[in-house]
A and B are shown apart, each in its own frame.
Chain A
Amino acid sequence: MDRINSYWPNLTREVRAKLSFYRNRWLGLRLRQVHQLLVLTAKILKYGGLSTGNYQKWSKEVTAWKLAQPLLTKQARGFINGMETYFTNYTDRYTNGHQLLCCSDMIESIFGRYKNKGGMKAISADVLSIALYNQALSSGFVQTAMKSVTSPMLDEWRCDNVCHNRYGVRRRMEKELKCAGG
């Protein structure tokens, strides 16, 4: 809103007259309140994801924010209700001390390491762990898995499917051929 307002003096009289029809304190308040709520929510969820602690923190901050408002717009109330529903929908996934990632930045940071270090080897290891992302690891869970799938079976699957193998070998061969040819 402040940025939009800063353009105001540069506009022509005709354009200002047309825009004035839509500009009023209600529009400003609606935009400002939703923006403030968005910033407040993103600060908590972006780095910490969904968890019981973060829900409590968010509720506390929203309550304090509401107390500071002279009135609450329909849009702000809608945003708060929408966030309450969002937290409620995932309650069973983040309770019991679990944390649920909910921001693309966090997913980016997980996959970002492939760019700098690890490469194919790190990707291969992580491909196998994707299936475990929503599983609570316990001794019983691992023992049951080991009863049905053995390490040699897993190695065979890994050789056929993950990228550090066939793709890596082919790339190395191509590099060696290129060096020999040059």
Chain B
Amino acid sequence: MVSDYTAYYKRSTIVCILKIADEGGFYEVFF
């Protein structure tokens, strides 16, 4: 389950980082 998220813009790409609470890790999505 996603517990937190943030996004930033870098080199013409939007990078969205999702914090997955139950797995204790992060997931990255690029747009």
Indicate if the CB atoms of A137 and B10 lie closer than 8 Å.
yes
CA of A146 to CA of B19, assembled, Å: 8
Of the four ranges (under 10, 10 to 19, 20 to 34, 35 or more), the interface on chain B belongs to 10 to 19
Indicate if the CB atoms of B17 and A139 lie closer than 8 Å.
yes
Which of B6, B10, B15 is the one whose CB lies under 8 Å from A146?
B6
Interface of B is mostly: strand
CB neighbours (8 Å) of A150 from chain B are 3-4
Of the four ranges (under 10, 10 to 19, 20 to 34, 35 or more), the interface on chain A belongs to under 10
Q: B1-13: contact bitstring with A at CB < 8 Å (1 yes, 0 no)? A: 0011110101000
Indicate if the CB atoms of B26 and A146 lie closer than 8 Å.
yes
CB neighbours (8 Å) of B19 from chain A are 146
Indicate if the CB atoms of B8 and A142 lie closer than 8 Å.
yes
Contact residues of A with B, CB < 8 Å? 137, 139, 142-143, 145-146, 150-151
Contact residues of B with A, CB < 8 Å? 3-6, 8, 10, 15, 17, 19, 26, 28
Instruction: List 7 extra interface pairs beyond A139-B26, A143-B17, A145-B6, CB under 8 A.
Output: A139-B17, A139-B28, A142-B6, A142-B15, A146-B17, A151-B5, A151-B6
